[in-house]
């Protein structure tokens, strides 16, 4: 029988063919993460807590962020050297895992990656503390890294939290502009992608100019990713996406398609849409009607086209990079981030 780590990485590789170049390294990253997901107190194992940690070990995602760390490293340096890049990639993924655990508590998510969420199985307290547990291990793993690298990882975590706080503050703000929306998702999501790519380049001792190319690539690809994620929350099939749909509407979070719709109608219609579909819990039938409205008005297509524009910007950021299999893999990964269905 395959181990959970090997099976999950194999699945990730099937979904993202561009990660074939770093498949072995992603396996090492997952192994390192799994080593952190063990609990003992004064040498004594706790079977109940380890059962909780085991449930997290068995729900690995696509590993996009650590994959980008590795590809960015390989795009500059033609071979991996040392364990530092594996450690950094693991830290980035654990920061991401921690935020997902906390997000599911905030949004009352019931499904994640095709399985019941930790909070639905074990309660909100366990989910929050498990997220904190992961962040604690990020501190531990990063303590032996170079100060510059530690600072970048810390900055990524801070920006992510700032973005989440900004989104919560902006809940119910149906006056939000598209620019404000992009600013929010830049901090809450795209910044982590940006820092992932930046870290990969920094670890090769790239100069600042070259490292910034990777940061720009990751930022624009990350914005495309989040626009697409928000679209999937509206239109995605739960069996395909593996997570609870409609949470953004239920939690009254403005997303690009909705913002665009509200900006294309007059005030009377705008107020009607807000009062009917956005200010209170809505039934499945009303949600379906609202989705049809977004589709018929071209707002879903508009958001999808905006995601593709950011993919184009991401690819353009790599123009100065010499042609290589790794550059092609980065470009294919950016395209995947906007074209995915889960």
Q: Which CATH class is domain 4-339?
A: mainly alpha
CA 330 to chain CA mean position, Å: 16
| Stated pTM of the model | 0.91
Q: State the pLDDT at residue 52.
A: 80
Q: How far apart are CA 282 and CA 288, in angstroms?
A: 10
Q: Which of 80, 138, 128, 140 is nearest to 104 (CA)?
A: 128
pLDDT in the model for residue 239: 63
Which is nearest to 187 in space by CA: 202, 204, 166?
A: 166
Question: How many degrees, rounded to 5, is the angle at CA 294 between CA 293 and CA 299?
Answer: 140
What are the pLDDT digits (tens) for 58-77?
777 899 999 999 999 999 99
Looking at residue 265, its pLDDT comes to 93
Mean pLDDT by 10 residues, the chain (342 residues): 39 77 96 86 66 79 95 94 95 95 87 83 90 94 95 94 90 92 95 98 94 98 96 76 66 90 94 87 82 94 97 98 96 95 76
Bridge partners of residue 45, in order along the sequence: 40
The continuous run of DSSP H or E covering 230 comes out as helix 208-235
Rounded Cα gap, residues 194 and 215, in angstroms: 5
Handedness of CA 69, 71, 76, 80 (dihedral sign): positive
Can you give the pLDDT at residue 90?
97
Q: Say what the pLDDT of residue 221 is.
A: 98
User: What residue ranges do the domains of the chain occupy?
Assistant: 4-339
User: Quick one: pLDDT at residue 45?
Assistant: 65
The answer to whether residues 191 and 156 touch, using CB atoms and an 8 Å cutoff, is yes
């Amino acid at each position: 029988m395959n181990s959970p780590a090997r099976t999950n990485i194999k699945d990730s590789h099937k979904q993202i063919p561009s990660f074939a170049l770093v498949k072995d390294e992603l396996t090492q990253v997952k192994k390192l993460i799994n080593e952190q997901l063990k609990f003992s107190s004064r040498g004594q194992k706790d079977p109940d807590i380890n059962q909780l940690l085991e449930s997290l070990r068995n729900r690995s995602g696509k590993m996009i962020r650590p994959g980008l760390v590795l590809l960015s490293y390989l795009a500059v340096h033609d071979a991996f050297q040392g364990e530092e890049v594996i450690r950094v990639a693991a830290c980035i993924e654990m920061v991401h895992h921690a935020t997902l655990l906390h997000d599911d508590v905030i949004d009352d998510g019931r499904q994640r990656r095709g399985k019941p969420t930790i909070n639905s199985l074990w309660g909100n307290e366990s989910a929050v503390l498990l997220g904190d547990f992961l962040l604690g291990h990020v501190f531990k793993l990063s303590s032996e890294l170079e100060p510059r690298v530690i600072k970048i990882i810390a900055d990524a975590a801070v920006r992510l939290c700032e973005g989440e706080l900004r989104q919560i503050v902006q809940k119910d703000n149906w006056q939000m502009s598209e620019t404000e929306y992009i600013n929010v998702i830049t901090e809450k999501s795209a910044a982590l992608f940006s820092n992932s790519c930046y870290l990969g380049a920094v670890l090769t001792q790239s100069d600042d100019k070259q490292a910034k190319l990777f940061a720009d690539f990751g930022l624009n690809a990350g914005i495309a990713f989040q626009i697409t994620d928000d679209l999937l929350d509206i239109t995605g099939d739960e069996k395909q996406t593996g997570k609870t749909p409609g949470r953004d509407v239920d939690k009254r979070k403005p997303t690009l398609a909705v913002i665009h719709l509200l900006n294309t109608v007059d005030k009377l219609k705008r107020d009607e849409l807000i009062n009917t579909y956005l200010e209170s819990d809505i039934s499945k039938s009303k949600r379906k009607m609202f989705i049809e409205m977004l589709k018929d008005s071209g707002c879903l297509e508009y958001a999808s086209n905006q995601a593709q524009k950011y993919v184009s910007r991401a690819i353009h950021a790599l123009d100065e990079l010499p042609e290589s299999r790794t550059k092609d893999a980065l470009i294919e990964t950016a395209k995947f981030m906007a074209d995915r269905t889960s």
